[in-house]
């Protein structure tokens, strides 16, 4: 019997939401509970670390209890799918484990239910299907007064990669382009709004060295000091990070016009129609030399399809260029569905994560993917 059927949260609203997800089709599967901690942090972002629960395997490897259903689903698909982009629709449910934020009154373990789709040839149709599945699950559970936040995890990475930004800021911004808070911090540094950190003699020395020489110098310093690196981080990675920090500390600020355009994109949020916000994204990207007309057309198709099947779903909806709470692995359309517009505690969340299967399999597998999770513990305003 499923966790959902046994759990306290297996109430009639939760069961109705589960039935709505099943109506969209899919195979019910069980997912692993323990995952490699380093992989989860790499994919979901270091900001998640304080909220994870850790364990050690028999071989000493650091593990963590799953904080969501998406990463274990991607792992399972990478390990079991016979071919890249083999179509699969999986219905997932079970406990996830996440420490509450400061001041948050909730249990550290709770049920999530969700739909994960892999290998769909039509990305836009799959995006719409998953969004509607989440919307219908919330409505089936009796949720009313719902608001929708739409975002795009691939928008800022695409713009930053395509823009002609001076180094080291282009690379620094690209490294955090999927994470709103980190992106704002790096941009503030690039604009000269944050105090420049003092760099060590070692950092200053390796700032202009090629990667091999920088690695050798860091390795030599560690050997002379009798130090070993903690965890799984290698000397090459440490040397690259030190050199990058040094280059940022001594670099000239980003030109004001470029910085202002990027800041407007990061902060962009609908105040009128969603279409107007999408047009503003296109115009701002054009100032950076990036053409987003194909991106704009794809969003038009998604919104039109949603309007056709669930016209009320967008009645209280807005668009943000990048969601502040979304996991780093979202690289396309992303959404949150929340009661009364309180997006700190959305009832449902989802989005596209085309790169994730490749990342969890170290590049051995590829698959287009999109999914959603619904949180029954938040039904009824809890």
225 and 123 in one domain? no
Does 291 fall in a domain?
no
Residue 316 has pLDDT above 70, yes or no: yes
In a domain, 13, yes or no: yes
Residue 172 lies in a domain: no
- Same domain? For 9 and 127 the reply is yes
Domain closes at, from 184, 216, 250: 250
379 has pLDDT over 70: yes
Q: Does 232 have pLDDT greater than 70?
A: no
Mean pLDDT score across all residues of the chain: 88
In a domain, residue 43? The reply is yes
Q: CATH number of the domain that 57 lies in? A: 3.30.930.10
Distance CA 35, CA 12 (A): 31
Q: What is the distance between the alpha carbons of residues 113 and 69, in angstroms, rounded to a whole number?
A: 8
Verify cis geometry, omega within 30 degrees of 0, for the bond prior to 168.
yes
pLDDT of residue 360 exceeding 60, the answer is yes
Q: Tokens standing for 41? A: 């942090």
Q: Considering the domain boundaries, does residue 179 fall inside one?
A: no
Share of residues in the chain with pLDDT > 70 (%) = 93
Residue positions forming the annotated binding site for L-histidine: 68-70, 98, 112, 116, 329-330
* Candidate from 40-49, 270-279, 349-358 with smallest mean pLDDT: 40-49
137, 215: one domain: no
Number of domains the chain is built from? 2
Q: Is 223 left (phi over 0), alpha (psi -120 to 50) or beta?
A: alpha
When pLDDT is averaged across residues 146-152 and rounded to a whole number, the result is 96
Feature table: binding site: 68-70, 98, 112, 116, 329-330
Mean pLDDT of 175-203: 82
pLDDT at residue 200, as a whole number: 75
**Mean pLDDT on 137-141:** 97
What pLDDT was estimated at residue 261?
97
Most confidently modeled range among 175-179, 211-215, 234-238, 316-320:
316-320
Residue 256 lies in a domain: no
* Banded pLDDT at 382 (limits 50, 70, 90): low
Q: Which of 228, 250, 272 is the last residue of a domain?
A: 250
Domain for residue 340, yes or no? no
Are residue 208 and residue 114 in the same domain, yes or no? no
* Claim to verify: residue 106 and residue 13 sit in the same structural domain: yes
Alpha-carbon distance 358 to 364, whole Å?
Answer: 6
Six token digits for residue 225: 């000091």
pLDDT, one tens digit per residue, over 185-197 is: 999 989 988 666 6
More confident residue, 337 or 61: 337
Q: Is residue 243 part of a domain?
A: yes
Contact 119, 86 (CB under 8 A): yes
Question: Is 114 in the same domain as 207?
Answer: no
Quickly tell me which residue has 């619904």 as its tokens: 374
Same domain, 93 and 213: no
Which residue range is the domain that position 221 belongs to? 201-250
Can you spell out the DSSP letters for 47-93? GGGGG--EEE-TT--EEEE-S-SHHHHHHHHHHH-SSTT--EEEEEE
Pairing of strands 27-29, 88-97: parallel
Of 232, 250, 268, which residue constitutes the final position of a domain?
A: 250
Q: Within this chain, do residues 133 and 235 fall inside the same structural domain, yes or no?
A: no
pLDDT band at 376 (very low <50, low <70, confident <90, very high): very high
């Amino acid at each position: 019997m499923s966790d959902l059927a046994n759990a306290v949260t297996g109430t009639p609203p939760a069961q109705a939401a589960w039935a709505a997800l099943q109506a969209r089709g899919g195979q019910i599967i069980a997912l692993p509970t323990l995952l490699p901690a380093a992989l989860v942090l790499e994919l979901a972002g270091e900001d998640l670390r304080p909220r994870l629960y850790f364990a050690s395997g028999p071989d000493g490897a650091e593990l963590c209890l799953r904080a969501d259903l998406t990463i274990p689903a991607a792992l399972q698909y990478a390990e079991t799918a016979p071919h890249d982009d083999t179509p699969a629709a999986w219905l997932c449910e079970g406990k996830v484990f996440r420490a509450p934020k400061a001041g948050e009154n909730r249990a550290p373990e709770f049920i999530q239910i969700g739909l994960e789709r892999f290998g769909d040839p039509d990305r836009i149709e799959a995006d719409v299907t998953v969004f509607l599945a989440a919307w219908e699950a919330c409505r089936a559970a009796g949720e009313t007064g719902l608001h929708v936040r739409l975002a795009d995890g691939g928008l800022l990475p695409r713009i930053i990669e395509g823009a002609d930004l001076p180094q080291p800021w282009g690379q620094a911004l690209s490294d955090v382009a999927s994470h709103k808070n980190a992106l704002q911090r790096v941009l503030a540094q690039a604009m000269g709004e944050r105090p420049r950190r003092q760099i060590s003699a070692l950092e200053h020395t390796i700032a202009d060295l090629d990667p091999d020489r920088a690695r050798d110098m860091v390795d030599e310093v560690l050997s002379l000091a009798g130090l070993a690196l903690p965890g799984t981080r290698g000397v090459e990675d440490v040397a690259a990070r030190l050199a990058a920090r040094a280059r940022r500390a001594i670099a000239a600020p980003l030109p004001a016009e470029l910085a202002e355009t990027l800041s407007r994109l990061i902060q962009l949020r609908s105040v009128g129609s969603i279409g107007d916000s999408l047009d503003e994204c296109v115009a701002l990207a054009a100032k950076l030399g990036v053409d987003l007309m194909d991106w704009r057309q794809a969003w038009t198709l998604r919104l039109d399809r949603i309007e056709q099947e669930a016209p009320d779903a967008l009645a209280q909806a807005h668009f943000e260029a990048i969601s502040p709470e979304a996991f780093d692995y979202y690289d396309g359309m992303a959404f949150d569905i929340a009661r009364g517009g309180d997006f700190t505690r959305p009832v449902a969340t989802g989005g596209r994560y085309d790169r994730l299967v490749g990342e969890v399999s170290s590049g051995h597998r590829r698959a287009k993917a999109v999914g959603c999770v619904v949180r029954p513990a938040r039904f009824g305003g809890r």
